[in-house]
Amino acid sequence: MAPILSTSLPGCEYLDSIPFPHADFFGVADRLTPEEQEKLQEIHTFLQTEIRPVAGEYWDREEFPFHLLEKLADLGLGELEFSGYSRLFKGLVYAEVTRADVSLSALVGIHNELVLELVHNLGSDEHRDRWIAGLRKFKKIGCFALTEPDHGSDIAGGLATTATRTDEGWVINGKKRWIGGGTFADFAIVFARDVADGEVKGFIVELDRPGVTKEKIARKMGLRIMQNADLGFNDVVIPHDNLLPGAESFKATNTYLKNSRAWVGWQGAGIQLGIFDKAREFALKREQFGKPIAKFQLIQEALSKILGNATASLSMMAQLAWVQSEGRLEMPYAALAKATTTRLARESAAAGRAIGGGDGILTQNDLSKMLNDVEILFTYEGTYEINSLIVGRAITGQSAFV
């Protein structure tokens, strides 16, 4: 069994001459090339030694650790989409960042899947020249502004933010909600309905323009490091050239929304690796009735369930990565993966928290932190219910939306 994604724990020597297994039980990461395996192990080691130990304190305070961006950039996490690595590698990287902290994985995923790649592929030469170099090193941050206060699941048809073309430029009016990184991003990719033709188009809106307001959404139960924001646009004037030429209809963004939903599937798998790590570590160290609780049958059953859920999720996502690499990703595939891995993550998080007993409710032990973060994964990028209905429409030919 390869050492990729392995976890070293005190007292975890050899069991029946077999190396103590890592959370990637079936060795999904073993499919990577040797170069990719080496890079993934480097990322794993850094995240587990320098990110995970400090993330909880920022999570408790609802603060973002800006000083970590440079370190993440040094690992290449700001330019994953330009790395030349396989789709499986990119997915496993998303899982690894989630394993360390969900909020930081949300930033890395949004940055790569919904900002960097979208600007590169749908933007103009001027957009690429202005933004791409800084984005690749996290020196510039963009956010993806689609969801609105009154429109989430029905955003495709209900989007209310407007764009009016005038001689001075485009005038943007409306509100956006739950925008990750919106409090500190340099610009937002804002989706607004052109009042002239009714099409939903994408615009780059610098967030220091007059008429832009930003307000942090506080007191969240999870994803507390991520600075989600309410954004307001009151007669915000942007140049005509800020229209993304490749995003002159909402249909043009579908590829990125599919990829983003698949990325959340990797988050669902990755957090289960972290849950397994921490639950097993706790079970081996915690003693009751004169022995480690890992010796009790109920604890072993719970750990086995967590590992089974994580393994099923990783295997599903590995297959989805192959589908993506073949250019065959459709929304029902991404929806099924996202709905399934986050549903299993919910079960795994509850089991892990229970293994922790009273200590499991302390965020310093990570188990309750992950329990709360899983609820966010279960809800964003399409709720579990909405994703299930997308799959249901695909397998029955009957839409529950209309």
Mean pLDDT, the chain, integer: 92
Q: What is the pTM of this model?
A: 0.92
pLDDT tens by residue, 235-265? 999 999 999 999 988 888 877 888 889 999 9
pLDDT value of residue 252: 80
Pair (242, 256) in one structural domain: no
pLDDT value of residue 382: 87
| Res 210 pLDDT > 60 | yes
Residues 254-271 as b/e (b if ≥16 CB within 10 A, e otherwise) read eebbbbbbbbbbbbbbbb
CATH of residue 113: 1.10.540.10
Pair (84, 157) in one structural domain: no
In a domain, residue 132? The reply is no
Q: Crossing angle of helices 297-325/87-100, nearest 10°?
A: 140
Split at pLDDT 50, 70, 90, the class of 8 is very low
Among residues 194, 226, 248, which one ends one of the domains?
Answer: 248
Domain containing 371 equals 251-396
Split at pLDDT 50, 70, 90, the class of 19 is very low
CATH of residue 301: 1.20.140.10
pLDDT tens by residue, 321-332? 999 999 998 999
pLDDT value of residue 18: 39
| Least trusted range by pLDDT, from 17-21, 54-58, 382-386 | 17-21
Among residues 212, 233, 248, which one ends one of the domains?
Answer: 248
Distance CA 108, CA 367 (A): 22
Pair (146, 272) in one structural domain: no
Pair (170, 155) in one structural domain: yes
Distance CA 194, CA 275 (A): 45
Count structural domains, the chain. 3
Pair (95, 172) in one structural domain: no
In a domain, residue 14? The reply is no
Pair (268, 292) in one structural domain: yes
In a domain, residue 273? The reply is yes
Distance CA 387, CA 389 (A): 5
Residue holding tokens 């200590």?
A: 359
In a domain, residue 129? The reply is no
Q: Residues of the chain with pLDDT > 90: what percent?
A: 84
Distance CA 375, CA 394 (A): 26
Pair (57, 104) in one structural domain: yes
In a domain, residue 207? The reply is yes
Pair (228, 262) in one structural domain: no
In a domain, residue 16? The reply is no
What would the mean pLDDT of 136-141 be, rounded to a whole number?
A: 97
Pair (257, 242) in one structural domain: no
| Res 15 pLDDT > 70 | no
Pair (321, 366) in one structural domain: yes
Pair (255, 239) in one structural domain: no
Distance CA 182, CA 55 (A): 20
pLDDT value of residue 364: 84
| Res 151 pLDDT > 70 | yes
Pair (320, 189) in one structural domain: no
Is the Cα dihedral 286, 290, 292, 298 positive or negative?
negative
Among residues 220, 248, 276, which one ends one of the domains?
Answer: 248
pLDDT tens by residue, 64-97? 999 999 999 999 999 998 999 999 999 999 999 9
Split at pLDDT 50, 70, 90, the class of 3 is very low
In a domain, residue 284? The reply is yes
pLDDT value of residue 20: 55
In a domain, residue 164? The reply is yes
CATH of residue 226: 2.40.110.10
